[in-house]
Amino acid sequence: MTQKTNVAILVDSCSDVPEEFIKAHHLFMVPMTITYHDKIYLDKVTITPEEVYANLDQEVPKTASPTGDLISKAFATIKAEGYTDVIAICISSGLSGTFQQVQLAARVSGLEASVIDTKNIGIASGFSAILAAQLSEEGLQRGEIVARVQTVAKRTKVFFYVPTLTYLQKGGRIGRVAGMAGALLNIKPIISCDDNGIYYPVAKVRGEKKTLQKLLQLVKQQVGTAQQFNLAVADGANSKIAAQIKQQLETDYPKVGKIYSGNVSPALGVHTGLGLIGVGIQILDD
């Protein structure tokens, strides 16, 4: 356990901060909800990605932002642990109502709170929480942390490919990717978030092998000449390919600060389906 920090960091489950980092750095997390016809689950708490994927052919559940009650309880826990300040990191307001929900709860939390809309999803949002936690541990104050995190968030990107657009379409999270036909042509889209935090197609490639090659090219373009950067590999029950991609990144970028890896959250898995591969890039250069 790291030493007590000045500023608590709260993050939502779809920001995909690795569980080991959350535990080691004492982050607080609010889970999304996943609703089936007969039961409600808490993202990453009472359901796993594998359980979601196993049932997708029978039922595509509904997902929703963390409830106001769960968010309020998280703020109450933070306050009870003696914190006066909190920074909440949220996935894009263009993809979820989480940012607005957390903002509402923050106003009546009794804490000095800042809520950041990362305009991103998955680990690309999680990178902001990781950075905020590290800066808090260095002793920076809330305003300084927020300024730095918001600057770096604009230079943070995720590229991900999904074998099918079916689940994004069913979940209504398709954004500017709508209308991309191609299942019959074996076209695999690579998707990212634009400046407004909305999904958009970056590339359309035929076949998985070429798609992964294109994914690595996009990472190279994003890293550019950066000297300080972190990377992350996320997957939707596609651990073999994810391990290969991570190994390739380790070879290609010996200067990388850290390469994180892990599953996308169950709530994200509802919308992406089985097989997702994503790479996040966080540029730290000033």
Residue 78 dihedral angles phi and psi, to the nearest 5°:
-60, -45
Predicted TM-score (pTM) of this structure? 0.92
At 121, is the secondary structure helix, strand, or coil? coil
Pairing between β-strand 40-42 and β-strand 33-35 as defined by DSSP bridges:
antiparallel
Burial class (CB in 10 A: 0-12, 13-18, 19+), 137: middle
Tokens of 105: 């709860």
Residue 34 dihedral angles phi and psi, to the nearest 5°:
-125, 115
pLDDT at 121: 96
User: Is residue 116 within 8 Å of residue 82, measured between CB atoms?
Assistant: no
pLDDT at 246: 97
User: Is residue 238 within 8 Å of residue 272, measured between CB atoms?
Assistant: no
Q: Which residues contact 259 (CB under 8 A, 6 or more apart)?
A: 230, 231, 232, 233, 246, 249, 250
Spell out the per-residue pLDDT of the chain, length 286, in tens.
Answer: 344 678 999 999 999 999 999 999 999 999 999 999 999 999 999 999 989 999 888 999 999 999 999 999 999 999 999 999 999 999 999 999 999 999 999 999 999 999 999 999 999 999 999 999 999 999 999 999 999 999 999 999 999 998 877 776 665 555 555 555 445 456 778 999 999 999 888 988 888 899 999 999 999 999 999 999 999 999 999 999 999 999 999 999 999 999 999 999 999 999 888 899 999 999 999 7
pLDDT at 186: 66
User: Is residue 207 within 8 Å of residue 188, measured between CB atoms?
Assistant: yes
